[in-house]
Every structure is written in structure tokens, then in C-alpha cells.
Structure 1
Amino acid sequence: MSLSSLALLLMAGTSPLAAAPISAPEDPPVVVAKEDPPAKEDPAAKDTQARPDVQDSGEIVVTARRRAERIQEVPIALTVVGGDELEKTGTYNLNRLQQSQPALQFYSSNPRNSAINIRGLGAPFGLTNDGIEQGVGFYVDQVYIGRVGASTFDFVDVDRVEVLRGPQGTLYGKNTTAGAVNITTRAPSFTPESKVELSGGNYDFIQAKASLSGPLSDKVALRISSSITSRGGTIYNVRTDEYLHRQSTLGFRGQLLWKPSANLDLTLAGDFNQQNPLCCVQIYARTGATQRALNRQYAGLAAAAGYTPPSTDPFDRVTDLDARINSRQEIGGASLVANWDLGPATLTSVTAWRYWDWQPANDRDFIGLPITTVSQNPSQQQQVSQELRLTSNGSSRLEYTLGAFFFHQKIDTQGSQVQGSAASAWLLNPTSAGGRNPDTLNGLTSTNDIHFKNDSFALFGKLNWEALKGLHIQPGLRLNYDRKSGSYIATVSINNATYPNKVATCANPTTLNADQLNTLAPQCYDPEFSAWNVSGDLTVSYDFARDVHGYATYARSFKSGGINLSGLPLNSTNTAVDLTKETVKPEKVDHFELGLKTQFLDRRVTFNIAGFWTEISNYQATVNNGQTTVIRGYLANADKVRVRGVEFDSSFRPSQRLNLYVNGAYTDAKYKRFVNAPCPPELSGGNPALNGATPAPAGTPGLSPLVCDISGQVLPGISKWAFAWGGEVNVPVGSGQAYLGYDGSWRSKFSSNPSPSAYTWIDGYSLSNVRAGWRRDDLNVYAWVRNAFDQHYFELLSTQSGSTGLIVGQPGDPRTYGLTISKSF
């Protein structure tokens, strides 16, 4: 089949999977050897994967430090998963990648409200706030992605994923206090190649991928990648007779490589990606006692409304949501990457523009009553970035990387919240006049106009000085400037028979009554933040032997300060918003790490271990304002957080026929000091304990504390223990080989609430994935089963607004199975 005919087939028949914002060109080229290394070799030329492919007994070069290096000699806690490994294990997004990476956590109640954490750090747990940034840098082909929501795409045509653990601020930027996820896609090739992959499975799962690459001339090469994914829902809505948590993703990416000379190459890339799933929902999980009056807790409210959930077993996977559900988004952009070899050094330029358009619909009361019928924040983000780097060439005793980075981001959000006909009885005192009248809150609407601008500039440098043979001293420094500005305007209105055409603005809020203003209040403020920051690190590494490398690192890093753009609490007299809460301070991070990377038995055994201790001052956390009717979170600084632990990665490759791996992490993550934290559900919902009054015991109706001291308690979302293990065995059959693979993971229990609660612990769970098939160089046919033992587990637990005691959860996927066929040409 000709290149042109394959291109037409590709463009007509398939389109890229899941909103994959893989837009930019390539890091320095990766060299992977496909055979065992010879007895004598250049030790700087190759390296072993942390999780090598079964058929690949060679080694891999990574670009984790913005230059091509052997992974075992990179003094960073680093894991690399190659593209072949991603494909054969069905790891086509970050949610699935975390199953094989014990130190990586990915949480998503919907794409906007997603978080990437490493070692328990990265983003505050809870609803996303436009005014802050993440602590885990996310990069695709060297382009920084400014919003976590834009990372929720499916992998396609990926060469490798690098997970860098620990602060990476010198080379990766200000907001990498916890680490970075660096995705590199396959580059255009001057050798014609193409590949098609088709998958089908239960829940009507269909996935098609295709890629095509080849020369257009002796100096120009093209690569086109396309994918589409569709899957039926796993949660049945009895109210609408439809299945939710459906998947529907598509996209397209193209790359054009031009090599006008031997020392210059330019790659122009562009992508368009779309997701239009029916997701994401949380359903009845359990109830717990709060400090509200009993008739205002879930059981009393449901009985008064004559409401019964369709099931109290969340793993029946049924719900009765009565509001519209959707998580539509578009992601796309373009980039130009140029590499100019100047002889002693290479100059790299990365220019990129990206956009993200988020159009959601949610049922925020989580049940089949019209309480909150609309709660959504459609957003449009655009970002422009420019990076310049000068990286030394060769293997002299002094290597360097110097660079500058500029980033501009703009976000416009049109938030809205609408209360329904059941809101008065559910949110207000049902025995009061307001609670007895449905019109008190029926149709009460907050329309929020939110704008955000973010400008950042940085100069950075990293040295690698071989002071003595095998002893490397590697200092790094980064100077960064941030300026953030925003606008938040909330207008509240209501229009029904009792309250016709009432509008409350910041200038005139008294058109609404107290019940209405306590539920949704007008707010107007224009926060600003700007600051200079200097961060740096120092790593000392030593090559004890060819395959034994140790390192010690100290890093002083920071995460940029921010502004609150989700509404502010009221002041102490409840007469106006508290403007002292407009901004949050930058996080300041002190990080210590010791690591050892080793290989034995002719590099057939790899064992890497790292111990770390991280302390964060002014940790950015989600808190609330003590309101009894609505849990409205905003951001504040916890005084100090400490995270410490030990991690290891190991693999064993006794022969070409067998490959095994075991990875593990112990992480102890705690608030060292957080005295003004949000209270857990069992200490919420009562009238505030003012003027030194004594709060009621947990779970007992009465007075509630304004804030809680959770010093010494655990951070949310992080398991103390996590492991991943597996491998693959194969035997020759005909012209290829038959194989059987297994991947397992286990994590211990973790808290799913910013302040640990007895009701929101998620029990530990184990997942098992199995695959079996036959392959040769150009063909692979295999069957697969994910969650083979149909483990029941939650990805998230949340509380219903209003301190009713209802706990809702997002169940993880049930057992899925299917067949995949891939063919290369």
C-alpha cells in the first residue's frame, strides 16, 4: 500500500483517541537497542528500562534532564514506560498509568476537577479553583500544559512516558514541586511506516488507532496519528433510562519534520481532540451523622420528601439523577520545535499555543430530587509559551543547560448554580417559613462571570561538573516572576410566583431575603498577585561501578502563589466578603533525597531505591467558611506539611522468554500544622460555636466548630503503602511467539476528604489485569481482561452539600474484557 493511499485511509477512517493534546514535536531523539549489548560498550550510550518490554532486552535513553542520557545514570527518581508497554497493557490514559506507578496518583471527578499528584503532593484535594496552578508539571513533547483538565486525554502514538518524582523546578519550571509527567510522542520518520490497531470489548467498547509516517522529500517527513474510542456506560440512570459514564473520544494529530541541513531540524505539530462522554457521576455510598438537627440530616430529609434512592449498594451501579450530565471538552493547539546544533552546544526553541474548551453539565446534589439542578463552570483557556534552551554537546567534564521561559494564560469561566423546587425543604430548616415554601429557593440562580490572566517569566540553568572521575556535582538555579490577576462577579436572581424578577448585585444585595442570601450571595472582587521567586537544587552523584550509581539531592523549590476565584467567605459580621482571603501565598518546599540505582547479572536485574523527606510551608489547601447550607470551598495556606517515604523499582529479565517487575512505595504524608482547617462532616452542620462556646461532640446535633485543628493528620488521596507487580512469559509458536502477561497493583486505604473523616476513608484494594496472545514483528493479536476479579472499589468519595451526612462515591470500573488486533505495514 502506498504512502498516499494510507494517508487517505487514515484521514477518512479514524480520528485520534480521547482528547489527546499531544501537540508538540520531539525531545532529542531516543535510541533504543533491540539486542543484548556487546561485552564492550560505551557506558554512556545505552540504558535499561525501569520496566523493559518483554521482547526488548536492550536499554533506553531518556530526556528527563533535557538531554539524552542513560536512565540508570540520571540522578532522579524516575520511571519510564515505553509506548509498546502502554499499548499491550491497555494503559491509554493517566488514570490507568497510575496502576503501575505506586507513587503517582490521578483523581478526576470530571476533567476540570482533576488532579495529578506524586508522593501525595501536587494539587489541593477538592473542586478546582482557576486561580492556582498544579504542583506536578505536565508536558507533552516539551510543551507545558497549564491546566490539569487538559491532561485527561487518551494516549496514542506515544513513544514513552517519563514520571519524574520529587521537585524538578530547575529544568521543568516553578510548578513542579512534586514532580513532572513528561510524555514524548513518536517522531516523524524518513522510513515509511504505518500501523493500525482495532479493539473491541464488553460494554460495547470500540477503539481504533492508526498512524502513518514517511518522507515527503529527502528533507521533509510527515507523521499523522488518529484514534477514536467509544464505550457504553457502567452506571444505569433509572430516571432517564440511560447508561452514564459513557466514553466518546476522538482526535487527530499531525507532525511535519523539516531537516534543511544536518545540524538543523524543525518540527511543526498540531492537534484537535474532542471528548463528549456522559460522565461523571457520583452515587449513594453511605451516610454518616453530622451536627445538624436530625430532621435536617439525610434520613430525616429523605423521609420528609418521600424519597428512596434506587439502591444503597453503590456497586449495583444504579442512580436516579434528574439533572443533565455531560463532560464535553475540546483540546488542541500547535507548536514549533527547532533544534540547531552549533557544535559545542545545541540551541532549542519550543513555541506553542494551546486551547481548552470545557462545556460541562452536573447534578451536584447527587440524588433524584430537584435540589441543585445546575452547578457548572464552563471554561475556555488559551495559553502561549516560548522556551529557549542552550544545551552543551559532547561528554566533557562540564555540561550545562541554560534557558529562558515565557508563559501567558487566559481563562474565562461562566459559572452558574440553580436551585430547584426541593431546595427549600432540603437546604433550609424544614419547619421554618422559608423551608415550608418551595418558592423560597426554587429558581434561585447565581450567575458567575470569572476571568483570570497569568503571566510568568523565568531564567534557569543546570550544571553537571565531573569534579573527580565518577563524582558529579550538579547545581541548578531558577529565577521566576509571576503575575496573576482576576475578576469574580456573582449576580443572584430569582423569578417565581412569590419572588418575581428579584435580582441581587454587589451594589444592591438586599433585594433577596436572608434565606436566599445565605444560600447564594452576590460577590464582586478583583484579586491580584505578583512575586519574584528563586529556587535551586544541588545534586551530588557518584558512580561506584559501571552499574552502581548513587546520588544525594537538596532542592529549595516553590509553587506559585494564587488568587481565589471560586468565591470568598464572608467577614466576621457576615456583611461583606472577606477580601483578606483574595490571595494565597506561594508554597515553599525543602526537599532531601538519597537514591541508589543498581544493575546485576549482566544488567538482567535492575533495582533502584530512593528515600525522601519533603517539608512544605504555606501548603495550598482547600478550606470552607462554616456555612451550614452550602459547602463552598476556597483556598488558604496550611502552615506546614511533611511528606517522607521510600520507593523502589525493580525488574528481572532472566531470558528473552521471561520478564518480571515489582515496584513499591511507602509514603507518610501529614499536616504538621494546620489549625484553621475545614472540619470533617461529623463536626459540621450545626450553628457556629461563637464567642468561645463549646462545640457538640462529633456526630451529635448542636454547635459546630468554626475551624478544626488537623495537625498531625494525613493528607488526602495518598496511601501509606502501594505496590505494582507483574510480568510476561512467551514461547515460540510458528513464525512468532505466544505470550501471557499479568499486571497487578495494590494500595492501602486513603482519605478522600481534605480533613480526614470517619465516613470518607476508601478501603485498600487490589487490581489484576491479564492478557494473552500471539505476535510477530508486524502483527499482534491478544485478548485482555482488566480488573479480572471484578474488585469493588471507589476512586473518590465526596460529601453532599449542606452537611446532610450523605456520602457519594465514584465507583471504579468493573471487570472489562476484549480483543485487540494491531498490524504494522
Structure 2
Amino acid sequence: MHKNSVRAALFGSVAAAALYSAPALAQENATTDPAVPSNQQTQADAAQASDTDIIVTARRRNEVLLDVPIAVTAYSGEQLNRQGALDITDVGDTTPNVTFETSRGTNTTLTAFIRGVGQQDPVAGFEQGVGLYLDDVYLNRPQASVLDIYDVERIEVLRGPQGTLYGRNTIGGAIKYVTRRLSDDPELRIRANVGTYKQADLIVTASAPLATGLKVGASVARLSRDGFGKNLTTGDENYNKDVWAARGTVEVEPAADAWFRVSGDYTWDDSNPRGGHRLIPGLASGTPVLHDVFDSQGALDDPKQRVTGGGLALHGEIGIVDWLKFRTITAYRHDKSKTPIDFDALPAVDVDVPAIYRNHQFSQEFQFVADKGPLQGVAGLYYLNANARDVFDVRLYTTLPAILPGLTAATAGSVDTKTWAAFADFTYDFTPQWSLSLGGRYTDDKRHARVLRTTYIFGGSPQLGGSGVFDQTGLPIATTSNFNGQRKDTAFTPRASINFKPNADHNIYISYSKGFKGGGFDPRGQSTQAPVQTPEGIFDYMAFDPEKVDSFELGWKASVLQNRLQFAAAVFDAEYKDVQVPASVGCIDASGNPSFCGQTTNAGKARFRGAEFEGNLRAGENLLAAGDRLNISTSVGYLDAKYLKFLTVMSVDQNGVPFPGGPQLVDMAPFRHIQNTPKWTASGSLDYNTPAFGGRLNANTTLSYRSKSQQFETAIPGLDQKGFALLDANLLWRSPTGRFEVGLHGKNLTNKKYITSGYNFLAQNPYTGAFVLNGAGNPVPTLGKEGILTAFYGNPRQVFLSFGINF
């Protein structure tokens, strides 16, 4: 067939997929993405770069992906731009064995799971299982962590424990968000998006050298759109976006071997509260289920929703000798979230939760980076001083409103974390084929928790006002927690790997690493209820111990067929002990009133085994016309995650018969599953680049798949998500010099409705998960009168145009 005919057929098929939603392979993954092009590069130049040209800093030094003995996926800013990525959760669709979602009831709090390890609950006291780093600064809390993608150089996703390489323990993995370095030449970049739901984004980035060795730059972003649905009670847009963000940078290079960077960023999010969709009718009011899953009916509107957050960072690098560099990273960050969470999603005051989260942190990291002949590595010290403070009321309906009007369970929790660590990781190349890496980390974690829980009537806590009876400070009638706890945890966590490179195009490695996540205190716990004495011992719901993991991995990375095919494959096994499992349940407080309790436990043991594959094929070069590019990419993740032991306090056995002698510790592992962890994740992409209209046109389409998963350890009918697929497609045209670009982007083109998170306060059989029904055949609520089974959904179909100008 003639090359022009092949090109026309290929372009027609990809363009049809992009415009008309025809299925295709999915997004190009980062293990094969071309290096970020310079200002002088055209898109064609970038497309010719191979996987071996990609530079990442997964091991705190510059390396090509092929050489890194770690499962890591990297997305360049160029790739994210082509694919219309809007925020950090977009990269989760095409990275194997990961889940990145916006947390339930919020707009900017991140829920991240990697290989089954993560943390769903954002309240103070819970350490994240996945570390998020903004320019190597660890973000201690998940609030304000759904980072919008602008002015980004690359995003790296590392899977598995990374404690010997990073300032903070990262027991499940790490996400690195890396911003652009400033150019030596003056630059001005303007990008705008306009699309469905009145999407209107504008991002302006400028930088310039002021003198020799002195550069300044800044970015400002205005990101907005209407909601995907409505709050039918308040009239507000639901799932809308109303964000301002800014980032500023000063870079100083006083000498060839010295570099300093001062950067600051801040975000103002005035989006409306995100209301959930009820999956059952109101048990008391009979309110029917709404037709549109993005509509809600919650009336809670205090405190006024607003999220602000940001920080300052100082990076420095000094060359001591030609083979040794000293780095310092000093940072301060803070955020504040005011959010009204209407659990029942109905107008009645029935489990309404006004909340305020405040977090601040200071961190200091020192590194020595060596590269001397066959020896390379990093050694460092890390210090973190952080405070997380939550204040929230749980406004409750009571069956005795005349006696207990305005019943509120109020919680004020504060957790201080002070931690320091020493870490090192070095690689020695014995021969060009064989290398050994050894690393270790010593961690000292200290936590101090203060929790005050008070039951009020006639109103709420002094910090949170509201409307009606809650527009005042209530009368305290009981103190259910007045807890002051401290703990110290220490651990040494080693890492080792062996690399075999039979030639420059292959890297085979086997590694072992030990991970650690410190213990803590649940600020929602009631000290009047814990600990629980059972015949087997004491079971303490208020405090929990450290979590530990032993992780083994065997991987193979290669670039073959004259660099036309690159792939990375890995199999892994992770054995967890003292798994931390947070839960929130309806309970009865010390004064006999209904309340909301946390029950966080060290469930026991879990095993995570799986395999991952990422590949990219630069196909059909002999059939394509000169200058054309066609990439076919795929990623597949398989994860067999299961509890081996899940101890919890039970009063009855599997047949519902009470245990003689009272509650006992029972191993519920056969009846529990790992949350937010599908067995299969997969994606594929078709990416075609061709000369067109005097410039270059890129057409790509992405299909990603996730098998069924559970929101919590116990299966919840209706709330757990079945397997589903998402289809994205993009067309992007650039002028020959890259100065102008125009794009058409489609997200979730089949308009798939899928659940990302939710709440459940309905009684369940603890063994089967089936809902407990009353005499009328209705579910029995464990908190409130209406019954809570509420879901939050991923974004529906979005189509938008992008416009870019680069000077």
C-alpha cells in the first residue's frame, strides 16, 4: 500500500476515534514518553526521542528510566498537555495498580492507593500510605492535595516502599510532582480551556533572566466550571470548580557549581460543597432517589465552603567536589479547609457535619549526592514538625427532640508529629553488567494527640455556628473523650537490590525493601468506650500501632528493535503486619445518646501480590510517510490483595449466636477485602502524529479499565463499583515553531457513571455484608433516622477546546 494511503487511513481512524468515540488502545504511558522538548524543539523532534532519553529523579539523582531498579511511571509535561490532563488524578487512569481519586464530600482532598496501600480517611491522626511530593517537599496532609496540572515538567509515580530515598516514609509508594525549571531566555506562555459545563480556564506563565545567574518566574491560573449537577435544596451548583492558583520562583546561580531556588505557591478554592447522591429513599421521609447522580439535596451550608493552602520552599545545591553535591530543602506549608458535609444528603438535620481542618508543617532535609566512578548514591537527614487539627460537629436527629433538641456530638482533635530520620542508598557497579544497591533508614516518630469530644444540646461547639437551633453554642451535657496521648515509634528499614544488564538495552533487577508507617491516635475515638476487654486481651480502638511491610520485587526493563519497542515488567510480593484499618460507625456515647465513633484497629496481616507491565511500540515506520509517527502503548496491572488475619471484636458468631462470656476477638479475614483496590487495571493508547495544515497534528485516544472494587473492607451492596472502562480522546495542532497550538479534548466520552467513594451508616451482617432489615423490610440505620447510603461519582463526559500561545 502507498505510504500516503496508509497515513490517510491511520489518521482517519485515529481522528474518528477522537471525534466519535470509537474504541482504541489507550494512553501512552510514561515509561515511553519522549523527553520534554525545549523551546527550540518541534513536536516531531520530541516524538523521535526514545525511552532511554527520559531523565527522572526517582532515586534522588538524574537517571534514565531504563536504569532505575524501581517500578516507576513518569509523565512529561508535554505528554500531559497533549492528553488534556487537568489534575493529578488523571494520571491514575493509566498507571498500573494505582487509585487516585478526589475524596468523598470534598473537592481538593486526595485519596491515593498504590498496590493496595493507602489512606481513605483525611482526619488528623492518620498517616498517608502514599507520599505526595511537590518539588521534593513532602505534603504531610491530603487536604488541598488534588494538584491542578499547570507549569509542570513531569509527574513520577513510584510503586512500593521508598523510605531509603525520600525524606518521609512512603510505605506504599510516592507521587512526585515536578515543576518546570526557569529558562535562560524570556518566556511567556498562555493557555486557555473552554468547554462543557461552562468550563473556563486561563493559565499565564512568564519568566525572564534579570541578570547573570538571576531568573524570576510566575504562573497564575484561573480554573472554573459549573457543576455537573445541582443542589436542589440550596440551588447551588454541585461538583463545580472555582479556583485561583499562583506559583512564583526565583532562581539564583552564583557559580557554575551552585544553584538556589526560592519558590512559593498558593491556592484559593471557593468551589461549592460537594453533595452526595443517595442510593436509597429516605427511611423516615420517603424522599425518593434522585434521577441525576450528580444532584443532591443536603441543606447544610455552614461553615461557608473554602479551601486555602500553599507554602514556601528553599532549594539549594552546592558542588563540594566534582563527584559530591550537597543539597538542602527547607519548606513550610499550611492549609485550611472549611467544609460542610451533609452525610444524609437531605434537607433535614440528620448527620450533618460542619468541619474545619487546619494543617501546618515545617520540614528540613539535607542530602549528599555522590557520583564517583562505579559508586553512586545519596545520604541524608530529614526533619518534620507538623500539626493537624480538626474541629467537627455531628448534628444528630434524636427520637426525643423535646428533651434533646439540637443534639450534637462535637470533636476537637489535634495531633502533633515530630519526626527525624537518617537515610542512605548507594549503588556500586562491579562490572558493566552487575550492580548492587544497598540502603537503610532509621526513623524516629513522635506523636502527641489531644482529643476532646463533647455532647451538646441546644446547639453545637463554640467553633462552629449554624442556622436555627445550631446558630449558637450549645449546652454541654457529657464529655465522652478527654484524651491526651503520646507515643514514640522507631524503626530501621533496609533496602537491597541487584541489577543485571546483559547489554545497554536490558536491565533485570531483584529487590527487597522494608516499609514502616508510624502508629497514632484516632481523633474520632471515644475514650469512654475504649479499650475493650475481651477474653483474648485488650482491644484498643483509640490508639493503633505502626504498620510494617516486607516487599520483594523482580523486574525487567528493556528497549529493543532499535528502540522502537520499550517495556517494563515487574512481579512483586508485599507482606504486611499490623495493618491499620480506620472505620467510622454509629455508636452510643457514655451518656446513652447516639453518636459517631472512630474504630481504628491493627487488623493483623495482609498480603499483596501482583504483576505489572508497561510497553510502548513505535509502529509502522516502513509504512508511514516521512515525518509521521505512530505509537501504541499499553499498561496492565494485576493485584491479588487479601487479608490473612483481620481481628475484630465480635459479640455473635457466624450463625448469630452470642458468644458465651461476652465479646471475643474473631479473625474476620475470610469476610474482609482490601478497599479501593481492583484486581485488574489496564490501559492502552493509539497516538498518531502527522504534518497537517502547515504544522503538526497529534491524534490520540485512550481506553482505561478497572475491575470491580470495594469502598470499605466489608462489601456494601449498591455502593461498591463494578468493573468499568473510560474512553478519552484528543486532537492537538501545533504551528511549525510550536508558538501556537489548538486542541480538542474529550474525557469519559461514553459518559460512564462510576462511583469513586461514599458513606454507609446502615446495619450490616458482619459476616455476609447483607443489610439488616426491620419488620417493614427496610434497612436499619446505625446513625440518624433517614439512613445513609451515599455515593460520590467520577466526572461525566467533558469536552473542551484548548488554546496555547508560547513566546
TM-score (norm 1): 0.82
Deviation at 1:448, TM superposition (A): 2.6
Partner of 2:340: 361
Segment of structure 1 superposing worse, 555-564 or 534-543: 555-564
SS of structure 2 residue aligned to 1:791 = coil
Partner of 1:556: 514
2:757 pairs, out of 789, 793, 796, with 796
Segment of structure 1 superposing worse, 218-227 or 106-115: 106-115
1:745 aligns to 2:724 (yes or no): no
Distance 1:106 1:440 in 2: 45
1:404 aligns to 2:381 (yes or no): yes
SS of structure 1 residue aligned to 2:273 = coil
CA displacement, residues 713-766 of structure 1 (integer Å, 9 cap, x when unaligned): 420111101101113212212431223211110111101123233443211111
1:170 aligns to 2:164 (yes or no): yes
Runs of 4+ more than 6 Å apart: 496-502, 572-575, 677-680, 705-708
1:567 pairs, out of 503, 507, 525, with 525
1:602 pairs, out of 543, 555, 562, with 562
CA displacement, residues 292-317 of structure 1 (integer Å, 9 cap, x when unaligned): xxxxxx76x33xx3x32352x454x3
Distance 2:219 2:347 in 1: 42
Distance 1:526 1:693 in 2: 29
1:817 is matched by which residue type in structure 2? Answer: V
Deviation at 1:691, TM superposition (A): 4.4
Partner of 1:621: 581
Task: Label 1:570 to 1:336 Cα distance change in 2 as closer, same or farther (>3 A).
Answer: same
Task: Label 1:677 to 1:620 Cα distance change in 2 as closer, same or farther (>3 A).
Answer: farther
2:378 is matched by which residue type in structure 1? Answer: T
Distance 1:390 1:411 in 2: 31
Task: Label 1:773 to 1:532 Cα distance change in 2 as closer, same or farther (>3 A).
Answer: closer
CA displacement, residues 527-554 of structure 1 (integer Å, 9 cap, x when unaligned): 1111221111101111111111000011
1:650 aligns to 2:608 (yes or no): no
Query: 1:679 touches 1:708 (CA, 8 Å); kept in 2?
Result: no
Task: Label 1:319 to 1:757 Cα distance change in 2 as closer, same or farther (>3 A).
Answer: closer
1:723 pairs, out of 682, 697, 711, with 682
Deviation at 1:219, TM superposition (A): 1.2
Structure 1 segment 488-637 matched on structure 2, within 5 A = 488-495=451-458, 503-504=475-476, 509=478, 522-568=480-526, 570-571=528-529, 580-623=540-583, 627=587, 629-630=594-595, 632-637=597-602
1:349 aligns to 2:316 (yes or no): no
Task: Label 1:174 to 1:142 Cα distance change in 2 as closer, same or farther (>3 A).
Answer: closer
Query: 1:491 touches 1:503 (CA, 8 Å); kept in 2?
Result: no
1:597 is matched by which residue type in structure 2? Answer: K
Query: 1:451 touches 1:486 (CA, 8 Å); kept in 2?
Result: yes
Partner of 1:381: 359
1:121 pairs, out of 108, 114, 117, with 117
Structure 1 segment 448-467 matched on structure 2, within 5 A = 448-467=411-430
1:664 pairs, out of 625, 628, 636, with 636
2:150 is matched by which residue type in structure 1? Answer: V
Distance 1:89 1:112 in 2: 22
1:333 aligns to 2:311 (yes or no): yes
Deviation at 1:414, TM superposition (A): 2.2
Task: Label 1:678 to 1:263 Cα distance change in 2 as closer, same or farther (>3 A).
Answer: farther
CA displacement, residues 61-106 of structure 1 (integer Å, 9 cap, x when unaligned): 1111000011111000010000011122122222222112132212
Distance 2:641 2:347 in 1: 37
CA displacement, residues 338-397 of structure 1 (integer Å, 9 cap, x when unaligned): 100112200000011111111111112222322134x13312111111100001134x11
Partner of 1:432: none
Deviation at 1:192, TM superposition (A): 1.5
SS of structure 2 residue aligned to 1:96 = helix
Deviation at 1:128, TM superposition (A): 2.6
SS of structure 2 residue aligned to 1:565 = coil
Distance 1:364 1:200 in 2: 33
1:132 aligns to 2:109 (yes or no): no
1:479 aligns to 2:442 (yes or no): yes
Task: Label 1:323 to 1:707 Cα distance change in 2 as closer, same or farther (>3 A).
Answer: farther
SS of structure 2 residue aligned to 1:750 = coil
Deviation at 1:522, TM superposition (A): 2.8
Deviation at 1:641, TM superposition (A): 0.9
Query: 2:585 touches 2:761 (CA, 8 Å); kept in 1?
Result: no
Segment of structure 1 superposing worse, 407-416 or 563-572: 563-572
Query: 2:404 touches 2:458 (CA, 8 Å); kept in 1?
Result: no
1:812 pairs, out of 794, 803, 807, with 794
Query: 1:689 touches 1:706 (CA, 8 Å); kept in 2?
Result: no
2:148 pairs, out of 144, 154, 160, with 154
Q: What are structure 2's unaligned runs of at least 5 residues?
A: 1-32, 39-44, 460-467, 589-593, 622-627, 763-780
1:146 is matched by which residue type in structure 2? Answer: N
Segment of structure 1 superposing worse, 317-326 or 495-504: 495-504
TM-score (norm 2): 0.83
Deviation at 1:467, TM superposition (A): 2.1
Deviation at 1:447, TM superposition (A): 3.1
Query: 1:481 touches 1:532 (CA, 8 Å); kept in 2?
Result: yes
Partner of 1:89: 83
CA displacement, residues 681-724 of structure 1 (integer Å, 9 cap, x when unaligned): x999x9x9564689xxxxxxxxxx99771346420111101101
Partner of 1:823: 805
Partner of 1:12: none
Query: 2:223 touches 2:241 (CA, 8 Å); kept in 1?
Result: yes
SS of structure 1 residue aligned to 2:648 = coil
CA displacement, residues 604-625 of structure 1 (integer Å, 9 cap, x when unaligned): 1111100000011001102456
SS of structure 1 residue aligned to 2:91 = helix
Q: What are structure 1's unaligned runs of at least 5 residues?
A: 1-29, 36-51, 287-297, 425-434, 510-520, 695-704
SS of structure 2 residue aligned to 1:87 = helix
1:115 is matched by which residue type in structure 2? Answer: T
SS of structure 2 residue aligned to 1:99 = helix
Deviation at 1:627, TM superposition (A): 2.6
Distance 2:584 2:391 in 1: 22
2:416 is matched by which residue type in structure 1? Answer: K
Aligned CA RMSD, in angstroms, stands at 3.1
SS of structure 2 residue aligned to 1:676 = strand
Distance 2:513 2:531 in 1: 43
2:600 is matched by which residue type in structure 1? Answer: L
Query: 1:445 touches 1:493 (CA, 8 Å); kept in 2?
Result: yes
Query: 1:32 touches 1:60 (CA, 8 Å); kept in 2?
Result: yes
1:641 is matched by which residue type in structure 2? Answer: A
Distance 1:237 1:142 in 2: 39
Partner of 1:235: 229
Query: 1:678 touches 1:755 (CA, 8 Å); kept in 2?
Result: no
Distance 1:459 1:811 in 2: 42
Larger RCO: 1 or 2 (CA < 8 Å, sep 6+):
2
Task: Label 1:200 to 1:441 Cα distance change in 2 as closer, same or farther (>3 A).
Answer: farther
1:218 is matched by which residue type in structure 2? Answer: T
Distance 1:683 1:95 in 2: 40
SS of structure 1 residue aligned to 2:211 = coil
Task: Label 1:404 to 1:155 Cα distance change in 2 as closer, same or farther (>3 A).
Answer: same
Deviation at 1:679, TM superposition (A): 11
Number of matched pairs: 716
Query: 1:490 touches 1:522 (CA, 8 Å); kept in 2?
Result: yes
Deviation at 1:244, TM superposition (A): 0.8
Distance 2:651 2:555 in 1: 38
Distance 1:186 1:393 in 2: 24
Deviation at 1:470, TM superposition (A): 1.5
1:74 aligns to 2:35 (yes or no): no
Query: 2:107 touches 2:271 (CA, 8 Å); kept in 1?
Result: no
2:618 is matched by which residue type in structure 1? Answer: R
Task: Label 1:670 to 1:376 Cα distance change in 2 as closer, same or farther (>3 A).
Answer: farther
